[in-house]
Amino acid sequence: MNLYLWLIPVLPFVGFLINGLLGRRLPKALVSTVALAFPLAAFGVVIRAAMLAWPGNGNFTLPYVENFAGSWINAGPLHVDFSFALDQLTLVMLLIITGVGFLIHVYSVGYMAHEEGYWRYFAYLNLFLFFMTVLVLAENYLLMFVGWEGVGLASYLLIGFYFDKKSAADAGKKAFVVNRIGDVGFLLGMFLLLSQFGSLSFGKIGDALALNSGQHGGMLTAIALCLVVGACGKSAQIPLYIWLPDAMEGPTPVSALIHAATMVTAGVYMIARTHGIFDRSPFALAVVAIIGAATAFFAATIGLVQTDIKRVLAYSTISQLGYMFLGCGVAAYSAAVFHLMTHAFFKALLFLAAGSVIHGLGGEQNMLKMGGLRKKLPITFWTMTAGVFAIAGFFPFAGFFSKDAILYEAFQHGTLGKGLYFVGLVTALLTSFYMFRLWYLTFFGESRAAARNSESTPHTSHSPHESPWIMLFPLVILALLSAAGGWIGIERFGNFLSPVVGPVIDPTLESGGKTLDITLSIVAVCVALLGWFLAHIFYGSKNKRAENLAASTPGVYSLLMHKYWIDEIYHNAIVQPLVLGSRYILGWIGEGAIIRGSAWLLAGITTLLGEFLRRWQSGNLRSYSAWLAAGAAVLLLAGLFLGSRVIPGFDPDPGQVLHMTLPAVR
């Protein structure tokens, strides 16, 4: 019996090879078939593995490790295997990646139907699935890093999909560069792990940690902090979150798959996967929790004023990832992964629904030019409503359960946790507000399309239309998941994950736990309702309240509108000094004076010497022969007079060479 784990990444990779190498020449229908068939097959393999390996079935003991090609890297003390492992956490991730990933592939067939480079898009998308599954299947840090870098590559390619647009190409570069900063942290963490444990295998490091149960802090804190830097880069947390909003330059399904549902959660996955190290370092955990809460609040405030529908969702994604970090930081890994799962459902849904709106409006992304779409796009409206309710945290939608679990665990986590709980609660209010703002602006009121038509180019001015069924089908499935995905409940989910990430705090087992849990849930729902209410006051009907508020607090509004000037600060504080330093210090002194100067010096010497020496090469036969004769004469004379000094034992006395005497000259 075999789980064929290797098939899970290889199948999308085959799809990538077929579409990437031949797609240009294949008909569109065949490209779509290939692009959909291989992820679906991978999803099938995951389902089969899940059914065979489900805990309690007794067929396999988890983690189940598949090793390939013996030893992958074997260099001195470094041994790394090319091996995949399946455990409960990986299983959850795989189901999300291949399941949601497949739905988004289906959606893309409709969304990208009229785009140039259709085959290229699907090749990249399949490539992404390949690397993402490698990332979660990897049994050691190095193989995980391969997937980690690979998804970064796929993300870069897809953000810059419209590469003839400068902003898209720049956004791709920005995402890649910012991620590299995080990757440095990940790499340093790996080196430290190697020096500390002599291995990069999750299993072996876990065993080593279990043996030294007294080991705390110190080196483990250093390792954990390095890994956090990596996670912050990939999961768009403060201070490395700046690439994610720009990543919205990519096609909308890409934003849904890579920049909402899967890739950006890799950091959360990594922390949950290496929780053994974090558990031993309360300091690192506190750092994670504070980063998470700060990011959640910070991004939510920016989301309040954005007018681009995708940017609102992007900041919302950063904010929700902050929640997951908060969950990890209070050692509630199963709650964090639970939120990761529900977030994958409702955020993918929100992005796809936003994509459907954008598609229906012929490319319009500004919410101020939407409005009144409830009747025109009914299915999009209802599915998006499910997503909005889920992210705002209304009972019984998915977001309620997972957000509640994180907030509850934070509240239980000492003084710091209580403080962070309130940050989380305020963030929940903001989340609810900006999501309902989006909801009202997009679907309610009267159409502001007139403003759009008069301003924009004529070809976008057709009337809004509902998207084709191939785009609506994934929306409906995801809407059902967003509505019902949380009904598993954190207890069951936590128990399922507990062999990997440790037991979950069960509210029913603690004194007053159940009451506290219910109280906190009611508070959370009330906060969400308050957010809805505020959004209704400001945007529910046609009024000037929002404009008035913005006008009355110009400082705050401008600060939020310009995203706290963070991009500008980074540009001036980091990018600009680097550019200037490169241009003037390295460029003028290093490149100009030292490198180019020394090259010129050498070239000058050679030229001058050549100018002088080339006169010898006159081409005149008699001058050559004269030099030859002169040289021979000089050699002979030198031999005669200096011979014994230059060549030891050489004595040019002819009397010794030849037993004769020169005839006397008479």
Residue whose CB is less far from other proteins, 544 or 659: 659
In the complex, minimum distance from the CB of residue 635 to other proteins, in angstroms, rounded to a whole number = 14
Euclidean distance between CA atoms 451 and 428, whole angstroms: 33
Instruction: Compute the least distance from the CB of residue 634 to other proteins, in Å.
Output: 14
Q: Are 86 and 53 in contact (CB under 8 A)?
A: yes
Closest CA to 484 of 342, 321, 323: 342
Task: Choose between 75 and 662: whose C-beta lies nearer to other proteins.
Answer: 662
CB 577, min distance to other proteins, A: 59
> 91: helix, coil or strand?
helix
Of 210 and 662, which has the nearer Cβ to other proteins? 662
Please report, as ranges, the residues that interact with other proteins according to CB under 8 A: 618-622, 625-626, 629, 658-663
Cβ proximity to other proteins: between 114 and 622 the closer is 622
CB of 632 to other proteins, least distance (A): 8
Nearer to other proteins, 69 or 658 (CB): 658
CB of 633 to other proteins, least distance (A): 9
**Dihedral Cα 208, 211, 215, 218, nearest 10 deg:** -10
Provide the minimum distance between the beta carbon of 657 and other proteins in the complex, in angstroms, as a whole number.
9
Give the tokens for residue 151.
């998804």
Minimum CB distance to other proteins smaller for 542 or for 659 = 659
CB-wise, 115 or 651, nearer to other proteins?
Answer: 651
3-state DSSP percent of the chain in helix, strand and coil, to 5:
75, 5, 20
Give alpha helix (H) positions in 412-502: 414-443, 449-455, 469-484, 490-501
**Min separation Cβ 618 and other proteins, Å:** 7
Longest dimension (CA), the chain: 140
C-beta of residue 349 within 8 angstroms of C-beta of residue 468: no
User: What's the CA gap between 389 and 479, in Å, rounded?
Assistant: 10
Is the CB of 594 or the CB of 629 nearer to other proteins?
A: 629
3-state secondary structure of 59: coil
User: Nearer Cβ to other proteins, position 613 or 658?
Assistant: 658
Smallest gap from residue 623 Cβ to other proteins (A) = 9
Give the single-character DSSP code of 120: H
Give the separation between CA 257 and CA 344, rounded to whole angstroms. 8
Could you say which DSSP state residue 265 is in? G
Cβ contact 351:385 at 8 Å = no
Q: Do 127 and 105 touch, CB atoms closer than 8 A?
A: no
Q: Is the peptide bond between 239 and the residue preceding it cis, with omega within 30 degrees of 0?
A: yes
Shortest distance, position 614 Cβ to other proteins, whole Å:
14
Among residues 538, 541, 375, 557, the alpha carbon closest in space to that of 466 is found at 375
| Helical pair 398-411 and 469-484, crossing angle rounded to 10 deg | 40
Please report the DSSP string for 277-318 in residue order. HHHT-HHHHHHHHHHHHHHHHHHHHHHTT--BHHHHHHHHHH
Residue burial 73-87, b: 16+ Cβ < 10 Å; e: rest: eeeeeebbbbbbbbb
Which amino acid would we find at residue 299?
A
How near is the Cβ of 630 to other proteins at its closest, in Å?
A: 10
Residues 442 and 447: their CA atoms lie apart, in Å, by 9
Query: Looking at beta carbons only, is 457 or 661 nearer to other proteins?
Result: 661
- Residue 69 or 621: which CB sits closer to other proteins? 621
Minimum distance of other proteins from residue 631's CB (angstroms): 12
Q: Report in angstroms how near the CB of residue 610 gets to other proteins at its nearest.
A: 18
Work out whether the CA dihedral 73, 74, 78, 79 comes out positive or negative. Answer: positive
Q: Which is nearer to other proteins, 25 or 659 (CB)?
A: 659
| Structure token pair of residue 242 | 């700046």
